[in-house]
């Protein structure tokens, strides 16, 4: 089958653009310069397709760039959760913690801190939640520390559901002697917490000796043991 090829032409007669029938009887249709200008400004189908492709390519580049940026931010965020956050002092170090009270996770009663921090020489206050991944990572160190006779561990359950918290302890083990419920996070904020998990080592005078931001690990565990054994 033969293909038909159409070649557009402009017929000029006496300085004017004309149209003809079989190249006869020319009829004036306009100025040739204006006709060329209009033709050049008008987008042909292939030009429209090319512009559309450029727009699609630009949108694709923006989408890929945004996805890569979000992916990198996610990596940085999750990596920061695993980062070895070594001992970070805050304004409470060397100072007495404020008294606080809240409902007990285990019993239908209110706990008062001034009635708890009196017998043992050292207390470890651990702020945690069942929904907190890093809290799960540090939990074996808390269980191990709970076996130390010089230390009593007190928990603050941060914005958690009671059933979930109890289920967590049943599965992972319970290192806490008492647990305060922190319904809205205000109790933790009053203790200078930045987030969870956080851990404070205090003496029986309620003076903050150490503070750790982030999950406990082997290095932090050893710092706690050294502080207990070395303090006079």
Looking at residues 136-161, what average pLDDT do you find? Answer: 95
Whole-prediction pTM value?
0.61
pLDDT of the residue at 42: 55
User: What percent of the chain is modeled with pLDDT above 90?
Assistant: 49
Q: Are strands 101-103 and 110-112 parallel, antiparallel or unpaired?
A: antiparallel
Q: Going by C-beta distance under 8 Å and a sequence separation of 6 or more, which residues neighbour residue 13? A: 26, 28
Q: What fold characterizes domain 101-230?
A: Glutaredoxin (3.40.30)
Whether 220 shows a pLDDT value over 90: the answer reads: yes
Q: What is the pLDDT of residues 94-111, one digit of tens each?
A: 899 999 999 999 998 999
The residue ranking higher by pLDDT, 232 or 167, is 167
Q: Which two tokens stand for residue 64?
A: 């890929």
Q: What is the dihedral of CA 56, 59, 64, 68, to 10 degrees?
A: 170
pLDDT of the residue at 58: 80
The mean pLDDT of the chain is: 82
Q: What is the CA radius of gyration of the chain?
A: 38
Looking at residues 145-160, what average pLDDT do you find? Answer: 95
Q: What is the pLDDT of residues 34-82, one digit of tens each?
A: 666 655 555 555 555 666 666 778 888 888 888 888 888 888 876 665 5
* Residue extents of the structural domains in the chain: 11-82, 101-230
195 pLDDT tier (thresholds 50, 70, 90) = confident
């Amino acid at each position: 089958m033969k293909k038909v090829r159409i070649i557009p032409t402009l017929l000029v007669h006496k300085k004017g653009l004309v149209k003809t029938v079989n190249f006869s009887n020319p009829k004036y249709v306009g100025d040739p310069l204006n006709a060329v200008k209009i033709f050049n400004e008008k987008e042909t189908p292939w030009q429209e397709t090319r512009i559309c492709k450029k727009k699609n390519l630009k949108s694709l580049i923006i989408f890929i760039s945004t996805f890569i940026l979000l992916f990198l931010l996610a990596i940085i965020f999750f990596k920061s959760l695993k980062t070895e956050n070594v001992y970070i002092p805050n304004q409470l170090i060397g100072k007495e913690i404020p008294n606080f009270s809240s409902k007990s996770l285990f019993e239908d009663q209110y706990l008062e801190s001034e009635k708890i921090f009196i017998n043992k020489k050292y207390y470890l206050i651990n702020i945690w939640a069942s929904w907190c991944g890093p809290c799960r990572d540090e939990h074996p160190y808390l269980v191990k520390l709970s076996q130390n006779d010089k230390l009593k561990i007190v928990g603050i359950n941060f914005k958690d559901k009671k059933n979930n918290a109890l289920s967590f302890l049943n599965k992972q083990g319970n290192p806490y002697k008492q647990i305060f419920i922190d319904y809205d996070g205000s109790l933790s904020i009053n203790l200078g917490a930045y987030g969870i998990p956080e851990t404070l080592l205090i003496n029986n005078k309620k003076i903050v000796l150490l503070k750790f931001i982030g999950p406990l690990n082997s290095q932090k565990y050893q710092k706690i043991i050294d502080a207990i054994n070395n303090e006079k």
